Copies of this chain bind each other. A is one copy, B any other.
Amino acid sequence: MEERRENGPMMTDGLIPSPTNPMVNPLLTDLYQYTMAYAYWKAGKHNERAVFDLFFRRSPFGGEYTVFAGLEECIRFIANFKFTAEDIDFLRGALPGGCEEGFLDYLRQVDCSEVEVYAIPEGSVVFPKVPLIRVEGPVAVAQLLETTLVNLVNYASLVATNAARHRRVAGNSKTLLEFGLRRAQGPDGGISASRYCYMGGFDATSNVAAGRLFGIPLKGTHSHAFVSSFMVRKDFYCCPTVIMHHMIWCHARTASLTSPDMQSPDEIVEKLLRSADASTTCEDFVSLVQSWLRKIQRTRLSIGGFGETNLSELAAFTSYALAFPDNFLALVDTYDVLRSGIPNFCAVALALRDLGYTAIGIRLDSGDLAYLSGEARKFFQAIEKDFGVPGFGKTSITASNDLNEETLDHLNKQGHEIDAFGIGTYLVTCYSQPALGCVFKLVEINNQPRMKLSEDVSKVSIPCKKQCYRLYGKEGYALVDLMIGENEAAPKVGERILCRHPFNESKRAYVVPQRVEELLKCFWRGSTDKSREELLPLTDVRARCMMQLEQMRPDHMRRLNPTPYKVSVSAKLYDFIHFLWLNEAPNLQDLKFWTSDGNQQKRTTSSDSQRSFLIEL
């Protein structure tokens, strides 16, 4: 039974694998789902057929769109929903005051074979109030799914949206790398971030586990520590005062001052490097690098120049190039970008070029990225010209260091020469808004529509089991999302239909769609029914996302003051919502309460006459 919890990212035999994270199981939920299930069971209500909508109320980051993500994990969870004997044992003691054994017998046979799940395909662009997932099934079972589904969708959609926003501001020509694992909210915060950032438009991740699980391209070079770990004697021990001071401090280990394990370019053990085409071998790559550095120094000094570069850094770069001659990318800001990192990089890159290798480029991780990237570009271009190295001026520049949507925007405005951005903390923690706020609301039970009321209109849920459509206009852009009742006729291409704001009486418009897309598809209809949507590979989901983002009218997508995308209901659904609202509103029978100052008053009108009045409005 525990086998279902093994990690299995691939689908086999048409079976749906268990969730990627083995910690996703039926106990990953709020206790109250179990107390409610027990109360439903005690009341004989547990098998009443319920419909729940999972939706959000406002797009994140001040924007007007959201990328829907997390559906595959939801379906995996549902498809494998089953209690183990250990789960049941734990639940026996977890319910306050205990429970009857019959309830545990009931749980033992619970699965999602009676559950149907309709959802908007993962990677779609979605909007507030429209159900992303509709779960139909026995009320107790559907309720048990709530917390887990909301958890799986919330962060996934949030971070995918954040990635899409970063892509939008960076532009399609830039490479976007997700570097967030270390700052993510926990291990699978990191793994999920890598997956859903890729879905939202990133090109690669640094996260090896995510690369393995999802086939996302992996990128990475080296850190400052790698550079610092190389110590060239010439840098540090040239001065007698320095040595004396150091000896006083490290008195217990002066032996190490003369020990042979200090590195210098001369001491790099393996200096051999075979050429890219394997035709020749350079016996002393270190000397080749040093000779290039001297050439660069002579030439560049004449045009403004730099002094001596840091030789520890040069040793680190040389070592790294010996390990990755085909993929040499150096972090150039450990000591000084312009006077050490870039000349050192160029020396190594030119030495590699002598052997037929093309260096990838540099990474900047501090300082004024616009300025430094511009200076680096000029340096590369001067090298191209001075030494006749075609293409060297286009050497790639990657930037990192606390980047976010806003800093990308500023860099664009300032002008920069950066080709790739490595983005971490702000991307993966969704720093500017770290929660989306999806909810899971009962919209129907026993075929009776239900709605959650609230004094705050934005929190009122739209009742009924609904059909949802996206209507497209002539230019191919999406115009409006439309929710209609289950039994209403679908909107048709070329036919005028009235779309109403669900809560604002004055907002309504006739729309003649040029294309009609049904949003909710069946992704689960019990384990035996195979007539459901396939879960597509991540690359396909990513492609859908990219395509849908392109189909949005640009004014909905801009960073500042985007135009809200319209979400509407049919005239019939509008009328029913407002009939039900009035009917369920507290103390409808006593309108005077609504104007009271909090002091309670006696009711003054009869409920029935009020009701008729309101329905006739």
Contact A487 B143 (CB under 8 A): no
Q: Mark A348-387, 1 if CB is under 8 A from B, else 0.
A: 0000000000000000001100010000000000000000
Q: Mark A591-617, 1 if CB is under 8 A from B, else 0.
A: 001000011101100011001100100
Contact B188 A23 (CB under 8 A): yes
Judge if A561 is at the interface, Cβ distance under 8 Å: no
Q: Tell me the bound Cα distance from A192 to B190 in angstroms.
A: 13
* From A32, A186, A340, A453, residue with most partner B Cβ within 10 Å: A186
Report the interface size for chain A: residues with CB under 8 A from the other chain: 168
Q: Of all chain B residues, which has the CB nearest A252?
A: B487
Contact A437 B452 (CB under 8 A): no
Within 8 A of B (CB), among A4-38: 7, 19, 21-25, 27-36, 38
Q: Mark A217-241, 1 if CB is under 8 A from B, else 0.
A: 0111111111011010000101101
Q: Mark A249-267, 1 if CB is under 8 A from B, else 0.
A: 1111100100101110000
Contact A220 B28 (CB under 8 A): no
**Stretch of A177-185, A290-298, A551-559 contacting B (4+ beta carbons < 8 Å):** A177-185
Contact A253 B429 (CB under 8 A): no
Contact B182 A586 (CB under 8 A): no
Point out the residue from B35, B188, B339, B453 that lies within 8 Å of A600, measured CB to CB: B339
Contact B228 A182 (CB under 8 A): no
Judge if A48 is at the interface, Cβ distance under 8 Å: yes
Least CB distance, A261 to chain B, in whole angstroms? 5
Q: Tell me the bound Cα distance from A457 to B324 in angstroms.
A: 33
- Note all chain B residues with C-beta closer than 8 A to A319: 39, 42-43, 45
Q: Tell me the bound Cα distance from A608 to B50 in angstroms.
A: 81
Q: Mark A412-456, 1 if CB is under 8 A from B, else 0.
A: 000000000000010001110011111011100111111111110
What would 9 A/B residue contacts be, using CB atoms closer than 8 Å?
A27-B209, A36-B222, A52-B225, A94-B208, A147-B181, A185-B429, A186-B192, A228-B442, A431-B435
Across the A-B interface, give the 7 residue pairs with the lowest CB-CB distance, nearest first: A31-B220, A32-B220, A336-B586, A96-B327, A185-B185, A97-B326, A39-B323
